[in-house]
C-alpha cells in the first residue's frame, strides 16, 4: 500500500507541475519563446557561432517490481555545451562537451575520485563541396545502422534514448558514448540522403575478463588482441517519399510537433571485419594469466556485420495543432555464433514508437515497444533478450526548448527478474 501511495503521489506532483506551467503561461498572456544563442562573426551573417546549453534533470524510481520500499532519486542525466561554427561558406566545425548521470552515487570526493566524468562527446571539422557531398572527420556521431542510432535528446519523442540500447549495440566497446574517431561523408541526391563513415575502434573500451570464448561462442573485441579488426565501416541510405530533413548535424529529429510533414525509409549497415574472436580448440582454453600474445595464438577472428531497415513518418493532423509521429525499425545483429557486445547480441530487434500531439494542447502521449530476440538469451545483464514497453507523455512548455516528460517503463526478460520504473524529467536547452 505504501508503494502504491508513493507512486500515486509522484503522478500527482507531475500533474501539478504540468498544470502549473500551463496556468503560468495563461496568466502571462504571452508565449514563452527562446531566441537561439547565435552570433554573426561576419558582416553579411554568412559566418556565425551558435551556442547550445542543455540540461536534462530526472527523478527516477527504484524497481517497482522489487520488494524494497518505493523511493525516488534525482539524476542529472545530461548537462552539455555545444558550440557550432560556420567558419567559411564551405567549412563547418562543432564541439560538444558535457557530463552524464550526476547523482548521489557518483558525486565523488573533493580530490575528484569516483566522480561523474566530464568528457568530449563530439569534435569535428567538415568541408562541404556541394549538397551532394560533404566530408568531415574527428570524434563524430554520424552513425549508419538506423535513424535512432544518431538519437537526439534535444528533440526526442521519448523520455530518453531507447534502453535497452538496441540502436547503439557496440556502445562502450568500440566508441566513446556512441561516438567514433574517424572520417565521414554525407549528402543529398534528389530524394536520397546518405551517410558513410570509416572509423577506428576504441582500444580502451569495455573488455570481457576473463574472456569466455569457445569454439561455438564468439566474443567481440578481437582488435585488442590481434592485429586485425582495426576498421569499422558503416553507412545509411535514406529515401524521402515526402519532404526532406536537415543534415547539418548528425542528430535526427525525434518529433516535429506538427511543424513538418515527412515520410522516409532507410537501410543501414555496420561492417566490422575480423572483430570477434573464437577459440581454436576447447581443449586449450584462455586462462586468466594469459597475455595478449597468448590469447591471439589461441583464437581465430570472425567478421561482425549488422543491418537495419526502418521507416519514419511525421505529419500535422487537422488545423488545430495536432500531430502524429511514428517510427518502426528492424535490426539484425551478427557478432558471430552466440556473440555479443555491451548492448546487443547476435539476433534481431523489432522496435516501434508512436506519439500523438493532442490538438489545442501541449500534451503528447506516446507508446514504445521493443522486442529483443538474441541467439543466446542468457547474455548481457540489463540488455538481455525480452521485450520492453514504455508509456509516457510530453508536456511542451515551449516546444523542445522546455519539455516535461512522465514515463512508465516495463522490462520483461526471457531470463532473470523483470523490472519496472516510473520516471519524470525536465529537459531544457537554449
Q: Decide if pLDDT at 22 tops 90.
A: no
Instruction: Compute the distance between CA of residue 396 and CA of residue 380 in angstroms, rounded to an integer.
Output: 36
- For residue 29, the model assigns a pLDDT of 56
Which of the two residues, 382 and 252, has the higher pLDDT score?
252
Lowest mean pLDDT among 20-29, 206-215, 269-278: 20-29
Q: Are 262 and 240 in contact (CB under 8 A)?
A: yes
pLDDT at 341: 86
Say what percent of the chain tops pLDDT 70.
90
pLDDT of residue 343: 87
Mean pLDDT of the chain: 90
Compute the distance between CA of residue 244 and CA of residue 122 in angstroms, rounded to an integer.
25
Confidence of residue 211 (pLDDT cuts 50, 70, 90): confident
Q: Which residue has the higher pLDDT, 212 or 419?
A: 419
Query: Residue 363: its pLDDT value, please?
Result: 97
Residue 229, sorted as left (phi over 0), alpha (psi -120 to 50) or beta, turns out to be left
Instruction: Indicate if the pLDDT at residue 221 is higher than 70.
Output: yes
14 close to 424: Cβ distance less than 8 angstroms: yes
**24 pLDDT higher than 70:** no
What's the predicted TM-score (pTM) here? 0.91
To the nearest 10°, report the CA torsion of 107, 109, 114, 116: 30
Residue 421: per-residue pLDDT? 96
Long-range contacts (CB closer than 8 Å, 24 or more residues apart) made by 368-372 = 368/158, 368/162, 368/392, 370/162, 370/164, 370/166, 372/164, 372/166, 372/344, 372/347
Convert the pLDDT of each residue in 133-184 to its tens digit.
Answer: 999 999 999 999 999 999 999 999 999 999 899 999 999 899 999 999 999 9
Alpha-carbon distance of 397 to 198, in angstroms, equals: 40
Look at residue 19 and tell me whether its pLDDT is greater than 80: no
pLDDT at 25: 47
When pLDDT is cut at 50, 70 and 90, the band that residue 207 belongs to is confident
Compute how many other C-beta atoms are within 10 angstroms of the C-beta atom of residue 357.
23
Find the length of the chain: 430
pLDDT category at 117 given cuts 50, 70, 90 is confident
pLDDT band at 27 (very low <50, low <70, confident <90, very high): very low
Range scoring the smallest mean pLDDT among 21-35, 104-118, 291-305: 21-35
| Terminal-residue alpha carbon distance, the chain | 42
Average pLDDT over residues 213-230: 92
pLDDT band at 107 (very low <50, low <70, confident <90, very high): confident
Q: What is the pLDDT of residue 95?
A: 98
pLDDT value of position 1: 47
Which three cell numbers mark 354? 508512436
Residue 222 pLDDT exceeds 80 = yes
pLDDT band at 376 (very low <50, low <70, confident <90, very high): confident
Task: Write out pLDDT tens, residues 252-269.
Answer: 999 999 999 999 999 999
Q: Please report which confidence band the pLDDT of residue 231 belongs to, taking 50, 70 and 90 as the band edges.
A: very high
Rounded mean pLDDT, 98-114: 79
Amino acid at each position: 500500500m505504501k508503494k502504491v501511495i508513493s507512486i500515486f503521489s509522484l503522478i500527482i506532483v507531475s500533474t501539478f507541475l504540468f498544470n502549473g506551467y500551463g496556468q503560468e503561461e495563461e496568466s502571462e498572456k504571452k508565449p514563452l519563446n527562446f531566441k537561439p544563442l547565435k552570433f554573426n562573426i561576419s558582416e553579411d551573417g554568412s559566418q556565425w557561432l551558435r551556442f547550445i546549453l542543455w540540461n536534462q534533470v530526472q527523478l527516477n524510481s527504484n524497481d517497482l517490481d522489487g520488494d524494497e520500499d518505493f523511493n525516488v532519486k534525482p539524476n542529472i542525466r545530461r548537462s552539455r555545451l555545444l558550440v557550432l561554427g560556420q567558419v567559411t561558406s564551405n567549412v563547418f566545425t562543432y564541439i560538444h562537451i558535457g557530463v552524464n548521470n550526476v547523482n548521489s552515487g557518483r558525486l565523488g570526493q573533493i580530490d575528484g575520485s569516483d566522480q561523474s566524468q566530464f568528457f568530449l562527446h563530439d569534435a569535428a571539422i567538415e568541408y562541404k563541396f556541394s549538397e551532394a557531398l560533404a566530408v568531415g572527420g574527428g570524434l563524430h556521431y554520424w552513425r549508419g545502422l538506423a535513424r535512432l542510432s544518431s538519437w537526439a535528446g534535444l528533440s526526442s519523442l521519448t523520455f530518453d534514448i531507447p534502453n535497452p540500447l538496441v540502436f547503439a549495440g557496440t556502445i562502450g566497446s568500440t566508441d566513446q558514448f556512441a561516438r567514433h574517431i574517424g572520417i565521414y561523408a554525407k549528402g543529398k541526391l534528389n530524394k536520397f540522403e546518405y551517410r558513410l563513415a570509416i572509423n577506428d575502434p576504441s582500444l580502451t573500451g569495455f573488455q570481457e575478463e576473463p574472456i569466455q570464448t569457445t569454439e561455438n561462442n564468439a566474443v567481440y573485441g578481437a582488435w585488442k588482441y590481434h592485429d586485425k579488426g582495426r576498421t569499422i565501416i558503416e553507412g545509411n541510405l535514406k529515401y524521402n517519399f515526402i519532404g526532406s530533413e536537415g543534415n547539418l548535424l548528425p542528430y535526427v529529429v525525434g518529433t516535429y510537433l506538427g511543424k513538418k510533414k515527412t515520410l522516409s525509409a532507410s537501410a543501414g549497415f555496420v561492417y566490422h571485419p575480423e572483430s570477434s574472436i573464437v577459440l581454436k580448440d576447447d581443449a586449450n582454453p584462455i586462462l586468466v594469466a594469459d597475455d595478449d600474445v597468448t590469447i591471439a595464438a589461441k583464437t581465430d577472428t570472425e567478421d561482425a556485420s549488422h543491418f537495419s531497415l526502418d521507416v519514419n513518418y511525421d505529419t500535422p493532423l487537422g488545423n488545430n495543432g495536432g500531430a502524429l509521429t511514428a517510427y518502426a525499425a528492424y535490426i539484425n545483429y551478427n557478432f558471430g555464433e552466440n556473440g555479443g557486445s555491451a548492448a546487443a547480441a547476435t539476433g534481431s530487434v523489432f522496435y516501434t514508437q508512436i506519439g500523438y500531439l493532442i490538438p489545442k494542447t501541449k500534451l503528447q502521449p506516446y507508446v514504445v515497444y521493443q522486442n529483443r530476440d538474441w541467439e543466446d538469451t542468457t547474455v548481457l545483464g540489463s540488455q538481455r533478450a525480452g521485450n520492453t514497453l514504455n508509456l509516457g507523455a510530453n508536456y511542451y512548455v515551449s516546444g523542445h526548448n522546455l519539455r516535461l516528460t512522465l514515463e512508465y517503463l516495463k522490462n520483461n526478460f526471457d531470463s532473470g527478474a523483470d523490472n519496472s520504473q516510473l520516471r519524470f524529467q525536465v529537459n531544457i536547452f537554449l
